[in-house]
Structure 1
Amino acid sequence: MKNQTTTYSKSKQGILPMFISDFLDICDPVLTFDEFMEGIDLAKYLRNIPEHETGRIRYNPVNMLKTVLFGFMTQGYMSLRELEDNCRVNIRFMYLIDNERPSYRTFSYFINDVLGDSIEDIFNDINKKIFEQENVDLNHLYIDGSKFEANANKYSWVWKKATEKSRYRLFEKITALFHEINTDLEWSGLKIEANVEYAPEQLREIADQYAKVWNVDRSDFVYGKGHRKTCQQRQYEKLLEYASKLEEYIEKVNICGPARNSYSKTDHSATFMRIKTDYMGNDQLLPAYNVQVGVADEYIAVVDVNQYRSDMDCFVPLMEQFKKTYGFYPKYPTADAGYGSYNNYIYCEQHDMEKYMKFTMFKKETEDKKYHNDPFRAVNFRFNSEGYMICPNEKRFIFSHRRAVRGNEYGRQEEIYVCEDCSNCPYTAQCKKTENNRTIRINQELTAMHQEVIENLESIHGALLRMNRSIQAEGTFGIMKNDRNYKRIVRRGINSVRLEIFLVSIGQNLYKYHNKKMRLQKSA
């Protein structure tokens, strides 16, 4: 007979050691992260948290902050439910949160209400500590921007110009209604004055007066099939309907503001922009935010979220953000052709910054010799002893007038010159396309700026800056979008989006810091 043995032990027993840190490798990223964060006084940003008189003890806010930042460091973007789940099963998060288990609602309250006002200061403090240890050169700043799709419905657009057109069409309907009402009120001697534009308050006041004249009682109004409205009911309801519609149009225009032409109904801060990834395949604009970064030695030194569709308008706000953070302007801001404009070049001159931003025709100017040396380009015309521009046919160009450039902040003007006589010119086919004398527009100051930019960027220093910009600035967005899979905004509203972008940027810098530290240890 076989001996029957009974086993009373369980395979899932408690084991030693009892400290979570003993399970972690000495090079584990959570230990690098925790050691780094201990050198920053995070508690000064978490002192205004209200204390509950009843209920359970609040989670340690410093540990909560470390857990949130470590989540963004490891994954690029971590959702609230992923944070909750990792605190239950991931030993690294359990180490940071002291084996507590906050829910996703707790993380939501902490991020939105506690970190909302102080996240920018936390980002700056973390950066300053990294930059001190890494000796980061902030004078060389590599700038780039990328459009991130907003968390808004695709076909929820509101166009400012379309709203304005609808409002003026409504003004015409109101005028026609006033003429109809005046015809019916001829017996009373009363008359409503018609104008070009109207205000909602004016229409509501007219509706009240109209109700008094005709003794309109809203309880007698009829609706539905089989009922016929009286003329007074119809006119009174139209007045109120037009007033409500005017209020709607005014609200839409105010939401757009002076600097935008569109917004989304589901996220009023999002602007419709053209994004490179057109997954819809119909060339439609998508609601998005324009995220700008300034990178120094592979770290995000400054970040900004804008509602402008063009990168050109984002340069000055980004530089002002840099000055506010570090107390000075970068000496060599390097950017691509989306940032080169008269306004930005003047801004650089005013703040002692070198011009290393390409302009629109930079590539054609430097690589296309035929275009650059074209004798029929206005910038290649020679000047005679009298100061006149001379075309290849030896004809003078006479100054006509100056014209202000629309949207220019520094009063830029274009000079208009007209050829004295283009008749019987042998170069007509190459020089102009109309039968009139050729007209050219030129701005000597902007032309001189373009020449300075070409000299800067074609130098050895400029070539190195251009190479580094393509690696560091564009590489930052490449890592953020492709390696760390952050391709779309999650939150709604400009303030919430800024909070999200700062969290992602902090995670990106900490991720880069840990990788550099690990590489140094391996090489040593």
Structure 2
Amino acid sequence: MQKQNPQEHYTAYQLKLPVEIEKIIEISDPVYSFSEVMDHIDLNKYLTIEERRSGRPRYDQKTLLKIILFAFMENGYASVREIKKYCKTDIRYMWLLQDNPPPSHMTIDNFMNKTMLENIDRIFADVNEYIFQKEQVDLNHVYIDGTKISANAGKYSWVWKKSCEKNRIKLFAKITELLENMNAGTALLGVKFDIREEYAIEYLEEILKKYIELVGFDPGKAVHGKGNHKTSEQRLIEKLSEYIERLKKYAERIKICGNDRNSYSKTDHDATFMRMKRDHMGNDQLLPGYNIQCAVCDGFIAAFDVYQYASDMDCFQPLIERFQSLYGQYPEYPVADAGYGSYNNYLYCEEHGMEKFMKFTMYEKESKNEKYRNDPYRAVNFPINESGLPVCPNGKEFHFIYSRPVRGNKYGRTEEYFQCEDCSGCPHKEKCCKCKGNRIVRLNEELTQFHAEVLNNLNSIHGALLRMNRSIQSEGTFGTIKWNRSYIRARRRGIKSLFLEFGMISCGFNLHKFHLKKVALRSAA
């Protein structure tokens, strides 16, 4: 019998911990700033704190919320397994646990997907309420910017709405041809199926059922495989069944896209294909993603949202409405780049008493290129005569043709179209217009006035300071989140889950910013 050596299980290291863990944590540690905010928030109003009547007792939800938010404050983003690891190895998480055992990764995940998913809005608002009051954050100056985040979806799993619509129209033509063949066979029975331009799925299913009854076909006796000859009736029935299934597939895909999108991903139905700054193929291809928008005040994220629109113009109004729902007011100075300046957004600012500090598309040329700004051949620079009609450099009048509603406008605004009375033999023809007939121009006097107001606002001293602050604060916020904290791709699938994910990131960002300002103030003192 081999003798056991007790030295094999011996170690010279022994665990030694003080009675009070707080003595190890430095006084300037972020956990104290975090605890200050959490202690001033009533967590009971949106957490389920009552015990279960049966089964295992529920893990303390206040503790779960604290360790999750602190993990996002420290790391920018933290997976559930990383949070579990921190609870076992980091002395600060042990202090937050307050003698509770470390939770499992499934406990953390279930809490995120159930409780936090429903209440992330309120948690974000409560965290901001204390921080903004403490830091005296100015909510009148809001700096807006957005970024496109790659979705957690297959890069080549696209579904195009227009492709589905075109293929469905082609399929309608094939169904018409098929019904004509079926009518040729049922003519002797005195039955004829209606031929239409478009076919509803229910109508075709009724035709299929009726045709099977008329020809007396038994689906149980259908033949398949090599060496078996199918009857003409079986071929027509199988073909119509195939077309019905294809129509269902197209209808489902068009429904998933909805009215506002033209594509989606098969592996994440909420993701839309859009152009990204980071293209792994380097050929400017479309990738599945989301448009994340942030409204920043004094360096803190005041409001955020996740959208499926590729254009920033469509995100401005819902983001401001979200800001208003959180703080009960509209910002006086919403500052944004040229991606947000549109006729609809200027009208929206006019309606809600907000100043117009959003650049428009040609802002750089308008403000810096004097030749472009004073170009006499631009329609907006045409003088207006006594009759109220534009006059070209050759002295010809432009007469009103028609007016048309502005595309996507919800305010009933229109734009007017004018045509020159005679462009033949004009010495300015090459510089003014390359069209064959008389030149047609589109004028919108209200939009022209908005552009002049925006130029005046942005080129003032106040406007220059706001433009400088926007590049520092809003773009700096996304720079910190994406590059300093390595969040460049969505981890969760679905727009609701991504809203939760970025909500936790925003809470962590504001908490971290609050701590840094406290440290800076302490150092200055």
Q: CA deviation at 1:110?
A: 0.6
Equivalent residue number for residue 191 of structure 1 = 192
Deviation digits for residues 119-169 of structure 1 (CA, Å, limit 9, x no counterpart): 100000100100000000000000001110110101111111110011111
Match of 1:400 in 2: 401
Give TM-score scaled by structure 2 length. Answer: 0.96
After superposition, where does 1:14-93 map in structure 2 within 5 Å? 14-47=15-48, 51=52, 53-55=54-56, 57-93=57-93
Shift of 1:36: 2.0
CA contact (8 A) 1:49 1:114 kept: no
Output the amino acid matched with 1:42: L
In structure 2, distance between residues paired with 1:222 and 1:388 = 77
Q: Secondary structure at the match of 2:188?
A: helix
Q: Distance between the aligned counterparts of 1:178 and 1:301, measured in 2? A: 60
RMSD between aligned residues = 1.6
1:20 shift after superposition: 2.1
User: What TM-score do you get using the length of structure 1 for normalisation?
Assistant: 0.96
1:451-495 per-residue CA deviation (whole Å, 9 max, x = no partner) reads: 011011111111111110010001100000000101111111111
Aligned residue pairs, count: 517
Q: Residues 52 and 504 (structure 1 numbering): CA distance in 2 closer, same or farther, change over 3 Å?
A: farther
**Residue pair 2:49, 2:61 contacting (<8 A) in 1 also:** no
Q: Which amino acid aligns with 2:77?
A: Y
Letter in 2 for 1:141: V
How far off its partner does 1:49 sit? 6.4
Number of the residue aligned with 1:119: 120
Cα 1:49–1:350 change in 2 (3 A) is farther
**Aligned counterparts, 1:225-374, within 5 A:** 225-374=226-375
Question: Which ranges of structure 2 fall in alignment gaps of 5 or more residues?
Answer: 1-6
Identity of aligned pairs, percent?
53
Q: Which residue of 1 aligns with 2:450?
A: 449
1:282 Cα deviation from its structure 2 partner: 2.5
Question: For residue 3 of structure 1, what is the aligned residue in structure 2?
Answer: none
**Which AA in structure 2 matches 1:115?**
M
Q: Secondary structure at the match of 1:170?
A: helix
Deviation at 1:117, TM superposition (A): 0.7
CA distance in 1: counterparts of 2:303 and 2:460, whole angstroms: 27
Structure 1: distance between partners of 2:469 and 2:274: 28
Aligned to 1:512: 513
Moved beyond 4 Å, runs of 4+: none
- SS of the counterpart of 1:390? coil
Pairs within 5 Å for 1:139-178: 139-178=140-179
Partner of 1:474: 475
Q: Which runs of 5+ in 1 are unaligned?
A: 1-5
Q: Distance in 2 between matches of 1:12 and 1:106?
A: 33
After superposition, the C-alpha distances for 1:383-411 in whole angstroms (9 at most, x for unaligned) are: 23333322222222222221223222223
In 2: Cα distance, 1:18 partner to 1:167 partner: 73
SS in 1 for 2:441: strand
Q: Give the aligned residue type for 1:484.
A: R
Distance 2:154 2:192 in 1: 47
Deviations 1:367-392 (A, max 9, x none): 00110011111111112333332222
CA distance in 2 between counterparts of 1:404 and 1:15 reads: 77
- Distance verdict in 2 for CA 1:393–1:114, change over 3 Å: same
Cα shift at 1:75: 0.8
Q: Is the 8 A contact 2:391 2:398 kept in 1?
A: yes
Which residue in the other structure is 2:426 paired with? 425
What's the CA shift for 1:9?
9.2
Range that drifts further, 209-218 or 412-421: 412-421
2:115 corresponds to 1:96: no
Q: Matches of 2:177 and 2:438 in 1, distance apart?
A: 49
Separation in 1 of the partners of 2:237 and 2:66? 62
